[in-house]
Homo-oligomer: A and B are copies of this chain.
Amino acid sequence: MSCDQQFIGVLEQLGYSFEAGLKRGGDYSATVRDGDNIYVSGQIPRIADEIVNPGRVGADISLSQAQEAATICALRCLALLQEQAGSLDKIKAIVRMTVFVQSADSFVDQSEVANSASHILHRVLGDAGIHTRTSVGVYQLPKNAPVEIDLIAVTK
């Protein structure tokens, strides 16, 4: 199965759709391509105009709610990569993913939040989705988002 078909299957299974939902600003862009490298701006778990599960992980929301949010961030990154590259089958590697988790004082399971995003990348892209990553717990995120994820991809 192609990565694009796999992506459709995952979106259908999870019940998400990002059509017409990927906003961008005027001075910056959701993606920038330089040669084979595609940079993706930090994605928060926005569905249409709503942030899914806003708040501080470990206080306002649970680990599993944060994992749901991280999944959505990863899917948004994939949707942007697909749009920029033309097809997810053109992605050769995800060289870096950074996962920022809005964390409660004592919440130390940022890696477990990131795991759900890592899993989506691997599931959709296969071996090309095995990436390096950095997961940190930050104090706040735009629009009170629980998770923000950016990444750098390389095309074939």
Contacts and interface: CB of A to CB of B under 8 A. Distances in A.
A146 to B, nearest CB: 12
Interface string A119-146: 1011000000111111111111111100
Interface string A16-34: 0000000001111111101
A42 B130 contact: no
What is the oligomeric copy number? Answer: 3
A131 B97 contact: no
Given A93-B34, A141-B108, A142-B109, A148 B131 contact: no
Contacts of A131: 28-29, 32
Nearest to A40: B132
Nearest to A135: B142
Interface in A73-121: 92-98, 100-111, 115, 118-119, 121
6 closest residue pairs by CB, A with B: A137-B140, A42-B134, A27-B118, A27-B122, A41-B132, A103-B140
